Amino acid sequence: MRLAKDGVPTISCLVFLTLAGFFMSPLIAGVFVVLTGFVIWFYRDPERVAPVAKEGEILFVSPADGKVVEIMPASHPFTGECTKVGIFMNVFSVHVNRAPCAGAVEYMEYIPGKKVAAFAPKASEINERNYVGLSTQDGNRVLMVQIAGLLARRIVCRLTRGQVLAAGERYGMIKLGSKVDIYLPKGVELSINLGNKVLAGKSVLGALVCQ
């Protein structure tokens, strides 16, 4: 199982503490074995293959593993009028985030904020969050928003302006429970509903027919 590189320092430290625990007591060693196992599992990063779009259409895949908790009309200066899809990631989800489509990074903004429960609608507006806007070759604009949750302590984004991403490419993660919003271009035909479970880089959220 591939591990997210953001978890390597934490995992290495826990492995060292686990080994040290064996020289102290079986109970302490056992606690660290369980904790290390959970952290390794939390930072799992399975391989995903993005679906191939039909000729004349653009597919948008989920940027995160989790449950669809919001589908609503929205607007943002980068995208204009669009459709927002909110995906809640609980502590058991894979937390690596992926690009929903191929595109170049044109917009980035980090906003400090609170850490209320990420599944609450107001979390999109008041929580700590990081915006990444992609522009596709066809001129469409897509916005991904990494939102910190009640337990989330850190948002990781490894992108720079001008960087080109492939559909399904890894670009960051959020540590512990959190939420990712995606703003899809107006006219996208959605293929998901509220309550659906989705997988990052694999589950199709919707399609847009190229004009």
92-136 pLDDT per residue, tens: 889 899 999 999 999 999 988 776 666 666 667 778 889 999 999
pTM higher than 0.95: no
The residue segments making up the domain with residue 38 are 5-42
**Is the residue at 17 inside a domain?**
yes
**Is the residue at 48 inside a domain?**
no
Residue 38 CA, distance from chain mean position = 20
Active site residues: 178
**Is the residue at 108 inside a domain?**
yes
- Same domain membership, residue 205 and residue 155: yes
Edge-first strand listing for the sheet containing 170-175: 96-98, 170-175, 154-157
pLDDT of residue 117: 63
pLDDT of residue 150: 66
- Same domain membership, residue 19 and residue 113: no
Q: 170, exposed or middle or buried, with CB in 10 Å at 0-12, 13-18, 19+?
A: middle
> Residue 129 belongs to what H/E stretch?
strand 129-135
Cα gap 176→142, rounded to integer Å: 25
Of the candidates 83, 112, 91, the residue with the CA atom closest to the CA atom of residue 42: 91
pLDDT of residue 123: 64
